[in-house]
Amino acid sequence: MEWKTYNGRFAEHYRIGWMNNEDSPHPEPPPRRIEPGAPPPRPHMPFPPPPPKGLISPLILKALILRILRDSPSYGYDIVNKINDILGSRVPRSVIYYHLNAAERLGLVVSKWEVSGKKARKMYYITDSGEAFLEDAKKKLERLRNVIEYIYS
């Protein structure tokens, strides 16, 4: 069996407890033999896997980014961590930065380099059109909430 890679590393290093039960559709990888003189195996990665593809829509990600920036201006790494905390899963940084840059191109956010000590960080701020986009997204997501509530009823 050939293992798919994620972020340049083997998927088996990203497995966590929820994938080790009998209900899992993924078989456990075969035990690895360590050859004499070979480097030790990589440690278990402590973060959760990314959400299933298609589960988080671009609208939701942009709305999350704008909502975080409405509270206070932030830099990219902080936005990534807040989104991962809110969603409870690990969204790849490249996906969040893609949507952050797309929001900047659309004029929903603006960025400014700020230097604190020896570190330079690109701070992001929400614009008036970003506020309007967020309000529109909230209306669309409210309709989605009604559909989900209907499904669960």
pLDDT in tens, the chain (153 residues): 444 444 444 454 444 444 445 555 555 666 666 677 776 666 555 555 555 565 678 888 999 999 999 999 999 999 999 998 988 888 888 888 988 988 999 999 999 999 888 888 999 999 999 999 999 999 999 998 999 899 998
Work out how many domains the chain is built from and give that number.
2
Residues 68-90: b if buried by 16+ CB within 10 A, e if exposed: bbeeebbbbeebbebbbeebebb
The answer on 139 and 68 residing in a single domain is yes
Q: In terms of Cα–Cα distance, which of 57, 44, 56, 54 is closest to 17? A: 44
Q: Distance of CA 88 to CAs 61, 95, 142, 148, Å?
A: 14, 16, 21, 19
For residue 6, give the 3-state DSSP assignment.
strand
The answer on 64 and 25 residing in a single domain is no
CA 146 from chain center: how many Å? 25
The answer on 64 and 41 residing in a single domain is no
The answer on 72 and 4 residing in a single domain is no
The answer on 23 and 62 residing in a single domain is no
Question: What residues make up the domain containing 76?
Answer: 58-152
What per-residue confidence (pLDDT) applies to 59?
A: 87
The answer on 64 and 35 residing in a single domain is no
The answer on 105 and 36 residing in a single domain is no
For residue 147, give the 3-state DSSP assignment.
helix
- Measured distance CA(131)–CA(126) in Å, rounded: 7
The answer on 85 and 39 residing in a single domain is no
